[in-house]
Amino acid sequence: MQFLKFLKLTLAATLIISGCTMNAQKSKQIQFNNPIALQRADPHVWKASDGTYYFIATVPEYDRIEIRKSKTINGIKEAEPVVVWRKHNQGPMGNHIWAPELHRIDGKWYIYFAAGSAEDKWAIRKYALSNPSEDPTKGEWKEEGEIVSKRNEFTLDATTFEHKGQRYMIWVDRASDKEVNTGLYIAKMTSPTTLDEKQVVISQPEYAWERQGHNVNEAPAVLIRNGKVFVTFSASATDANYAIGLLWAGENANLLDPASWHKLPEPVFYTNEALKRFGPGHNSFTVAEDGKTDVMIYHARDYKEIKGEPLYDPNRHTRARVLRWTKDGMPDFGQDLDDNEMGMKKAKRQ
């Protein structure tokens, strides 16, 4: 009897330990229910201090800005979109409402977005909205007007970040007089809606992979890790040629000196036909629910052939994947892995 009792207790303990081990293994996995938003391109996610995720992206009608909120990244999929602003019927901000980003700055929400005019949809400029509400899906959004930069010819995809007490903006505009192309500009910000006088180009299309269909560098996204300021960007036409490249500068470098920036000659994330991932691009970064695992939010299509102009094909879907890091502190995008393979082991921040 004593032996049987001992055997039962031993078996129970083994099952408990086994269960704990399995739970520990599961806890190392971060899996996403992709796509987390259908027909949403140029996605941007802001994680608030209370852990709430706010999701904003380009809608295929190019006519409005909406925000979703969720306590989890996967929850974005079922979250109800709240329309916070609609395009004008005439004049500026009347067409091609593109690539909104949501940022919390000095206790206030700002949305940066690009828009054409109702009369000329290609007269693209960058604009801002502001909202003092604690919750950006509530309260009143005020039009702050155009964020004017020096070149200001075809300007879009503005993003902002703070580094060592200074706020910067990176955006897109024509970058060369010799040919029609777009590149990345950077400047210090003198307020959340104004730029300092010094504005410099830190990247423009120079490699073949950046010049497929269109000669563009666009969609900058910033991630500061491991003693470096990383900037991902997207290049080429918005079909299967679309791909993500990488720039970086040292954290103590002069970010307004183009020589401070290093650029990889090959893309870091691009079409993978075997995984049915076509034209991945225009990403942003956030942090998983564990508070430390870096996550890349991006859009892609699941088919290659597009009828007509790719810009008007609505099926760029938002996806999420863990961002890993190499031993030398560089981001590993996992080009040959699907989204959830990247999350099988928790991303390790150096």
Q: Which of 66, 173, 218, 313 is catalytic?
A: 218
Neighbours of 315 (CB within 10 A): 16
Buried b (16+ CB within 10 A) or exposed e, 35-48: bbbebbbbbbbbbe
What is the CA 155 to chain-centroid distance, rounded?
Answer: 18
Q: What is the DSSP string of 102-132?
A: EEEETTEEEEEEEEEESS-TT--EEEEEEE-
Q: How far apart are CA 321 and CA 341, in angstroms?
A: 9
**Catalytic (active site) residue 50:** no
Residue with tokens 């859009």: 299
Q: What pairs with residue 239 in β-bridges?
A: none
| Strand 182-191 to 262-263 pairing | unpaired
Q: How far apart are CA 55 and CA 46, in angstroms?
A: 7
The separation between the first and the last C-alpha atoms of the chain, rounded to the nearest angstrom, is: 54
Tell which residue, 73, 77, 71, has the closest CA to residue 45.
Answer: 73
**Catalytic (active site) residue 206:** no
Write out the two tokens for 46: 């802001």
DSSP state of 214: S
Q: Which of 42, 66, 157, 339 is catalytic?
A: 42
Residues marked as catalytic: 42, 218
